[in-house]
Structure formats: C-alpha cells, structure tokens
Amino acid sequence: MQVLTRPVWVVALSILSLPLSQVTQAASNPQAPKAPAKPCTVQSTTTGSYFDLNPIALAPPELKDGRKVHKTDRDTSWQAQGHDYGTNFTVNICAPVIETVKDVVGVDKSRWQNVSAYYQQDGKIYSIGEQASEPIFRGRRLVLNYTNGSPCPSSKATFFESRSIDDDESTAYGHNYYNKGISSTKDTESVRKKSTILSFLCDRDAHNAQATVSFVGTMDSCTYFFEVRSSAACGGVAAAPQGGLGPAGVFGVIALIAVIVYLVGGCAYQRTVMHQRGWRQCPNFSMWSDVLGFISDFFIILFSSLTRCFTKKDGSASYSHLNGSGAQRRGLIGAIGGRGGSNRANRGDVDAENRLIDQLDEEWND
C-alpha cells in the first residue's frame, strides 16, 4: 500500500499558497500606487478603525422656491458657547461655515468663503481657522487642525493681565493693529495667525449626523481648543477601496483556498492510498452522493406535488361540469316521467316495480 508522504503535501500546499503569497506581496509593496483617501476620513494605525467625519460636515441646505427641500437640513453651523471668553463660536467640520461671513479681520476677501471657524465680537468677525479636511491621530486621539485665521494679538499686548470680558479685543492689540496693519519695522510674514484644534470624542448615544462642540479654552487668543462629541468619532470598518479586497473578499479568498486544498488533497488521498478511480476519487464521495440524491428527490417531490395540484384542479372542474349537466338532464326527464339514456342503469329496478304493481292489481281484481 502506498502512503502519501510529507514532501508531496508540502509541494501541494506550496503550489496552492503561491497565488496568496503574490497577493500579499503586492498589497505590502510600498511602491504600489495608493488610491487617494476620501476627504474627512482617516484610519487609525494602532486599532485599524476607520473614521468618517463627513456625516457631521454641514453643507448649505438645498432650496427650492425659497424653501428647504429637506426639513431636517440645518441652516446654521455648529455653535459652541464661549462662557467666560465673552463670545460664542461658530464651527463647521471639514467644510466652511454655512453662514455668509464678510469683513473678516485680517483675512483677504478671496478667502472669506474658506473660513471654517469664527467668532464675532464688538461687531467684528475674527476667523480662527480656514477649511481643512485631513483629520489626523495624535496617539489615540483624533484631531483636526484649522490654521491661517485672523492675526493673533501682538506680543506687546498685555493679554494675560486681568481685563474685563467685554473689553474690545482690538484695543488690547492696539488701535491701529487691524486697521492700519502692524509696524513697518516688523515683517508682516512673521505675524502669527489664529488657529483651531478640534478633538473628537466618541458618543454612541448621539445621532450619526449630530455633533456637540464644546469650547475648552485658549491661552493667548491665538490657538483655540474645542472638543467635538459625536458617534461619527467612534470608528468602524472601512469600505473596500477600488481594486482592493474588503473583509468579505478576504473571507471569500480564504474559503476558496480551503475548498481547493480539500478537493486536491482528498482526491490525491483517494487515488494514491485508497486506489479509487472515477468519481470515487472525490473526497467523501458517498456523503456528497447522498446529499445530491436528497436534493434531487426533494425537487422531484416538490415538482410532482405542484403538478398534481394543477392537474387535480383542472380534472375536478371538468368532472363537475359533466356531472352538473347529467343531473340537470335527469331532473328534466324525471319531471316528465321519462327515462334517459344516462338513467339506463336503473331501468331494471323500474321494470321490477311495474311488474309488482301489475301483480298487485290482478290480485285486487280477483
């Protein structure tokens, strides 16, 4: 008796694993071109979770005849209370604010439409960052940075000194800071600009398209820190990119390889060890034969049952039609005292009754 030795199994498995190894090498090749990432999305390098912040990125509502097409669309951006800062903040995620902003302090008119966060104080609008759609991870925290806002206060301003909440910010910076620009002795390109840091926290109780923005604070009225709570920050499974395999595709490849190994290994064992030929070389031939026989019997029974139901219905209708015609004929002929051809089976009984009646009449006459 021949035995399938270990080298044969090694060769078979190496041949089957060759396509999978090629796919793995192609996926891990750093020189392979990568598809551009979808805006406002990121994948964690530590947990592998996929984060999509587009559900909380607000867009202007679609209007028709001056009315909103969808009543649930927001017509204002996310709001955050400033508390002791003296003003509230308007913020959008990965997109410019919905509101139309004009006369933004220290920002060119061509960039007003790119403002993603701002606040208004004493009738003036201050930008604290322009649109950005590339969230990043700092450790395990998901953050989004807005930069290139209005100019920060000058270093000579005594911002950290105690002042009233309602003080004019332009007064603290100097009366001519925003109106006439900074001193000519200082390079204008070195002026710091206001920026914003949005830190996202997972809130599974919130609706997918809802977000709660909270102002945390600022140390120098130059960098503003906010926390955004939303279910969009909880992460999930990434969709399969173009040309790539998603979780279902990977599972399908593994299942296909397992089936191939089962068939090839089983056929090799049945042929070399059990000396089977023909269809009996297939692994577990008797079991699969019984399964196929059961399936075929099931469909035969189902088909025959359906055929019988339809044929029985048609036969019953034809029989009832003929039976009704015969009954009608018997009723008509019986009414006039005749006997029809359909009633020939009862003719002998009628003759016997007539003879009995004649006999009784003769006895009565006697």
Write out pLDDT tens, residues 14-68.
545 545 555 445 444 545 455 567 899 999 888 888 999 999 999 888 766 667 6
**Dihedral Cα 321, 322, 328, 332, nearest 10 deg:** 150
Higher pLDDT, 207 or 66: 207
**Whole-number pLDDT of residue 155:** 58
SS (H, E, C) 162-176: CCCCCCCHHHHHCCC
pLDDT at 159 over 90: no
Sheet of 223-230: strands edge to edge? Answer: 136-138, 141-146, 195-202, 223-230, 212-217
pLDDT grade, residue 203 (50/70/90)? very high
**Whole-number pLDDT of residue 187:** 46
Domains of the chain with bracketed CATH: 41-234 (2.70.130.10)
Are 135 and 142 a contacting pair, CB within 8 Å? yes
**Whole-number pLDDT of residue 81:** 94
**Whole-number pLDDT of residue 141:** 92
**Whole-number pLDDT of residue 62:** 77
Write out pLDDT tens, residues 179-193.
444 443 344 446 899
CA 144 to chain CA mean position, Å: 25
